[in-house]
Amino acid sequence: MITLHRNIGEVSKNYIYEQLNKRLGNPDIRATSEALYKRQLNKLCIEYIKWKPLDVEIELIDDMPKELIHPDGLLELFKSWSLSDCSKKNYLSLMLILTKDTDSHKLYTDVYQKFKKVVEDVQDEQLPKEKEKILDTLTLDDLKKGLSRYEYKLKGVDKTDIELATLNLIGWIHTEHFLRNELATCYISPIKISDGTNYILNKGRNTKILYIYNNKVRSSLKGDEPRIIKLEKGSVKALNKFIQIKKNNGIDMTKEQLLFSNSKGNELHSHEYTNLMKKVWEHKDLTMTSTLIRKLYAIHIRRKFNGKKTAEMKACEVLDHSMEVHNNSYVIYFD
């Protein structure tokens, strides 16, 4: 048994990593998988050092921290470490390699199989519906590229086409900010509106700020704080174009008014807004809704960061919903 003194935590972490890293030298592990396991091992060592009380020395048995020889120790570590079940399964997979040819391997195998079943059961429940199957190969970049036709047309013969400008604006805001249908009842104003209305503050050509007071998860009547979003470059450009096209039609957008309105000049109903959304990518044979785009974003983040908890939490913030809703309704698993 080796005892590491805790006077310098980084030294302890590096020593543990170096010893356990030797166990990853398995010719059966692909290079890409080995690189992933090395990153996981480094993170595991960091979290172990943080979890271990400062006044307790670190004991290694056959170069393995004493607490991690049995899976119960790792499960205790998980309690102090914000991880999804999928990530826990991945770390247990790492431990299967680190404990190979040891008495602990069978114990870790049993725990790994339990977590694997939990993750697979969730994935089975979240197989795609027919209309969601396109999300497997579709990307956010595909959607943004599909908006280029509007920019081209609005520069040419369609300089007065309000519908084209509307579809272009809807497309950009939804592919950069992943809203629900809040824009259906949204106003635009050069000054702040204080009555709890959803609105875009048009502060100037390069600064547009969206205030969302009311949607499925917040209500101005309940005193909820608004969600405040500074529009990204593509959305700002599309909104400026929309304002210009309106001006070309003799409509002054510099005063407070509805952003979009129906033929009667009233706020759009949700189904009216959805119908507009469905038109945005018709030329690409795609029928998109705000929900489908939100789910596409959730899938993109899960794949890009491999279920990393901090990335998932950030996605929930962007999508303005809870982690429970995110995991149960938004992340779809494909065969």
pLDDT at 1: 55
Does any domain span residue 7?
Answer: yes
For residues 178 and 318, the answer to whether their CB atoms sit within 8 Å is yes
Query: Based on the domain organization, do 191 and 138 belong to the same domain?
Result: no
Rounded to 10°, the helix 71-79/85-98 angle is 150
Residue-number span of the structural domain to which 14 is assigned: 2-125
pLDDT at 25: 66
Does any domain span residue 276?
Answer: no
For residues 88 and 115, the answer to whether their CB atoms sit within 8 Å is yes
Query: Based on the domain organization, do 7 and 107 belong to the same domain?
Result: yes
Query: Based on the domain organization, do 6 and 115 belong to the same domain?
Result: yes
Does any domain span residue 328?
Answer: yes
For residues 297 and 329, the answer to whether their CB atoms sit within 8 Å is no
Does any domain span residue 151?
Answer: no
Query: Based on the domain organization, do 134 and 121 belong to the same domain?
Result: no
How many domains would you assign to the chain?
3
Q: Which own/partner contact pairs does 234-237 have at CB distance under 8 Å and 24+ positions apart? A: 234/144, 234/172, 234/175, 234/176, 235/169, 235/172, 235/173, 235/176, 235/177, 235/208, 236/205, 236/206, 236/207, 236/208, 237/172
Q: Of 221, 249, 271, which residue constitutes the final position of a domain?
A: 271
pLDDT at 229: 97
pLDDT at 134: 87
Query: Based on the domain organization, do 249 and 186 belong to the same domain?
Result: yes
The full 3-state SS of 232-286, as one line of letters, equals CHHHHHHHHHHHHHHHHCCCCCCCCEECCCCCCCCCCCHHHHHHHHHHHCHHHCC
Here the tokens at position 268 are 């759009």
Other C-beta atoms closer than 10 Å to the C-beta of 271 total: 9
Query: Based on the domain organization, do 41 and 132 belong to the same domain?
Result: no
Does any domain span residue 152?
Answer: no
pLDDT at 26: 60
pLDDT at 90: 86
Instruction: For residue 234, give the amino acid letter.
Output: G
Q: Within a 13 Å sphere around the CA of 181, how many CA atoms are in the beta-carbon half?
A: 17
The dihedral region occupied by 306, where left means phi > 0, alpha psi between -120 and 50, and beta the remainder, is left
Closest CA to 44 of 79, 95, 103: 95
User: What would the pLDDT profile of 21-40 be if each residue is shown by its tens digit?
Assistant: 787 766 555 555 677 788 88
Query: Based on the domain organization, do 222 and 188 belong to the same domain?
Result: yes
Query: Based on the domain organization, do 121 and 209 belong to the same domain?
Result: no
Other C-beta atoms closer than 10 Å to the C-beta of 126 total: 16
Query: Based on the domain organization, do 320 and 177 belong to the same domain?
Result: no
Does any domain span residue 334?
Answer: yes
For residues 37 and 24, the answer to whether their CB atoms sit within 8 Å is yes
Torsion of CA 301, 306, 308, 310, to 10 degrees: -20
Q: What is the mean pLDDT of each run of 10 residues along the chain (335 residues)?
A: 54 76 66 74 85 78 85 90 81 88 90 84 65 89 95 83 96 98 96 93 94 93 93 97 94 94 91 95 95 94 86 93 84 63
pLDDT at 228: 97
Query: Based on the domain organization, do 87 and 6 belong to the same domain?
Result: yes
| Strands, sheet with 207-212, edge to edge from the N-terminal-most edge strand | 227-230, 207-212, 199-204, 187-189, 257-258
Does any domain span residue 153?
Answer: no
Cα separation of 126 and 177, whole Å? Answer: 24
Cα separation of 146 and 69, whole Å? Answer: 53
Query: Based on the domain organization, do 142 and 116 belong to the same domain?
Result: no
Does any domain span residue 82?
Answer: yes
pLDDT at 129: 73
Pairing mode, strands 207-212 and 257-258: unpaired
Does this model's pTM top 0.85? no
User: What would the pLDDT profile of 203-217 be if each residue is shown by its tens digit?
Assistant: 989 999 999 999 999
Query: Based on the domain organization, do 190 and 221 belong to the same domain?
Result: yes
